[in-house]
C-alpha cells in the first residue's frame, strides 16, 4: 500500500537509537497540532484493487449476521430490503450489486433475497461474470452503501490519497485524513521498522510524521457490518529518501461498527482522543511478554507463506528487550503493508483484536 523509494528486504542492523531519539524529540517539540480541514477531495488509485478469481474457492463461510431492525429513521447510506423487488446499486464505479427477491413455487414472495456481485474491472473480470452467494438474506437485512457513507464522512473529514480494495461482496476504502496527525509515535519500533526498510546499521532520520488514515470496510452478504478502523501512517526522511509504512493495529481500540441510525460525528475522533488510545495500547501491550511464541504462531497462520516467513524472520531479529506483544502488532502491520492483501489483513486483524482487548 505504501510506496518506498528503496526497500531492502534483508536487515543488517538497527538504527543509532540515542541519536534517533534526540533528533525526533527536538522535531516533535516544535510541531503544533493541526486544525481539521472541511473541504473534500478524493483520489482513487486503480492499482490498489486486489486481484481475485472470478469463481470463488469453496471455503468455510463466515457466520451470517442476523440483522436487527434499528430504531429510528435510517441514514442516507442505508437501504432496507423490504419489498418484492430487485434492489440494485453500484459502489465507486467498481462493483455492481443486486438483491433479487426469492419466490415460493406458488408465486408468493418468500421475504428473502439472493445477493449478486459484478466486478466492472475488465482485467479482474474479463468475462463480466456475476458472482452469486449460495444463501439468501432475510427481509430484515439493511444494505449499507460504502460510497454513500464515505460521501457523508467527507462532510466531517477531508480525505486524500485514497485507495479501494475489493473482493466479491466486500470492499474497503482507505484514505488519509487531511489535517489529522499525531504528535507522538513509538520511537523504538519506528527505528526498527525503518532499519528493516533501509538495511543499514545507522542513519540520520528527520521529518518524522504520524498521519491518520481511515480504513472503511463493508460487506454485502450479511457476514459483517460497515466498519471503520483508524490507521497510523508513519513517514520519515532517511539520507534524503522518503520512507513510510502503515500501522494498522495500534488504534484497533478505536474501531467502530457503523449503526444504520447513528450520527456521522460519532465516528470522527479528535486528535487528543486518538493520542490517548494509541498510548494506552502501547503501554498495555509492552508489558505483555508471556506466551509470545503462541501469539506469533497464531498470527503467522493467518498469513500467506511468504508473508509468514518474513514475519517470523523479523521477529527473530528483534533484540530481547523489544520482544513483547506491541512489537508483534507492529511487525504484523509492516509485513502486511509490504504486500497488502485485504483477506490477510482482515484475518490478522481478527487475531490482533483479541490481543488489543486483553485484560491486564
Average pLDDT by stretches of 10, the chain with 360 residues = 35 44 48 30 38 41 49 80 94 96 96 96 90 93 94 91 91 92 83 80 72 93 90 87 90 86 77 90 92 94 94 92 93 92 87 74
Reference 95, options 43, 126, 130; nearest CA is 130
- H or E stretch at 102: strand 95-103
Residue 35 makes CB contacts below 8 A (sequence gap 6+) with: 179
3-state helix, strand, coil in the chain (%, to 5): 30, 25, 45
User: Does residue 21 form part of some domain?
Assistant: no
Residue 76 included in any domain: yes
Whole-model pTM: value is: 0.76
Q: Is residue 258 assigned to a domain?
A: no
Q: For the chain, what is the domain count?
A: 1
In a domain, 270, yes or no: no
Q: How far is CA 167 from CA 97, 117, 220, 301, in A?
A: 12, 10, 11, 21
pLDDT at res. 32? 33
Strands in 120-248 per DSSP E:
130-132, 137-138, 142-144, 159-167, 170-182, 205-219, 227-238, 241-247
DSSP 265: G
pLDDT of residue 207: 77
DSSP annotation of 94 reads T
Residue 93 confidence (pLDDT)? 94
Residue 27 maps to a domain? no
pLDDT at 19: 52
Per the CB < 8 A criterion, the answer to whether 19 and 204 are in contact is yes
**Distance between CA atoms of residues 158 and 96, nearest Å:** 26
C-alpha 36/C-alpha 271 separation (Å) is 9
| Domain range for 111 | 60-145
Q: Which three cell numbers stand for residue 188?
A: 523504538
> Does a structural domain hold residue 73?
yes
Does a structural domain hold residue 188? Answer: no
CA distance 162 to 146: 14
Whether residue 316 lies inside any domain: the answer is no
Q: How far apart are CA 104 and CA 123, in angstroms?
A: 38
Amino acid at each position: 500500500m505504501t510506496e518506498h523509494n528503496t526497500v531492502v528486504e534483508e536487515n543488517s542492523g538497527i538504527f543509532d537509537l540515542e541519536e534517533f531519539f534526540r533528533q525526533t524529540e527536538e522535531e516533535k517539540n516544535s510541531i503544533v497540532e493541526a486544525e481539521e480541514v472541511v473541504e473534500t477531495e478524493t483520489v482513487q488509485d486503480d492499482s490498489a484493487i486486489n486481484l481475485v478469481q472470478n469463481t470463488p474457492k469453496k471455503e468455510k463461510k463466515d457466520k451470517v449476521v442476523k440483522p436487527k431492525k434499528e430504531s429510528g429513521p435510517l441514514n442516507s447510506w442505508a437501504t432496507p430490503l423490504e419489498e418484492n423487488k430487485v434492489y440494485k446499486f453500484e459502489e465507486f464505479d467498481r462493483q455492481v450489486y443486486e438483491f433479487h427477491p426469492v419466490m415460493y413455487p406458488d408465486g408468493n414472495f418468500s421475504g428473502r433475497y439472493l445477493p449478486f456481485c459484478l466486478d466492472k474491472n475488465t482485467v479482474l473480470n474479463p468475462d463480466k461474470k456475476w458472482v452469486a452467494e449460495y444463501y439468501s438474506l432475510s427481509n430484515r437485512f439493511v444494505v449499507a452503501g460504502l460510497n454513500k457513507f464515505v460521501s457523508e464522512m467527507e462532510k466531517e473529514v477531508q480525505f486524500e490519497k485514497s485507495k479501494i480494495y475489493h473482493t466479491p461482496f466486500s470492499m474497503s476504502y482507505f484514505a488519509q485524513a487531511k489535517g489529522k496527525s499525531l504528535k507522538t509515535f513509538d520511537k523504538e519500533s519506528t527505528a526498527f521498522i525503518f532499519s528493516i526498510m533501509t538495511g543499514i546499521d545507522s542513519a540520520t532520520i528527520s521529518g518524522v510524521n504520524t498521519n491518520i488514515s481511515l480504513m472503511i470496510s463493508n460487506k454485502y452478504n450479511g457476514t459483517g457490518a460497515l466498519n471503520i478502523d483508524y490507521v497510523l501512517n508513519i513517514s520519515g526522511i532517511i539520507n534524503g529518501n522518503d520512507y513510510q509504512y502503515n500501522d494498522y493495529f495500534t488504534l484497533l481500540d478505536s474501531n467502530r461498527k457503523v449503526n444504520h441510525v447513528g450520527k456521522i460525528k460519532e465516528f470522527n475522533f479528535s486528535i487528543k482522543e486518538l493520542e490517548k488510545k494509541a498510548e494506552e495500547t502501547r503501554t498495555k501491550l509492552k508489558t505483555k511478554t508471556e506466551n509470545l511464541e503462541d501469539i506469533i504462531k497464531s498470527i503467522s497462520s493467518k498469513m500467506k507463506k511468504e508473508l509468514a516467513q518474513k514475519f517470523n524472520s523479523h521477529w527473530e531479529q528483534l533484540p530481547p528487550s523489544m520482544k513483547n506483544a506491541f512489537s508483534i502488532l507492529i511487525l504484523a502491520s509492516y509485513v502486511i503493508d509490504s504486500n497488502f492483501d485485504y483477506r490477510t489483513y482482515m484475518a490478522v486483524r481478527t487475531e490482533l483484536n483479541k490481543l488489543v482487548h486483553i485484560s491486564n
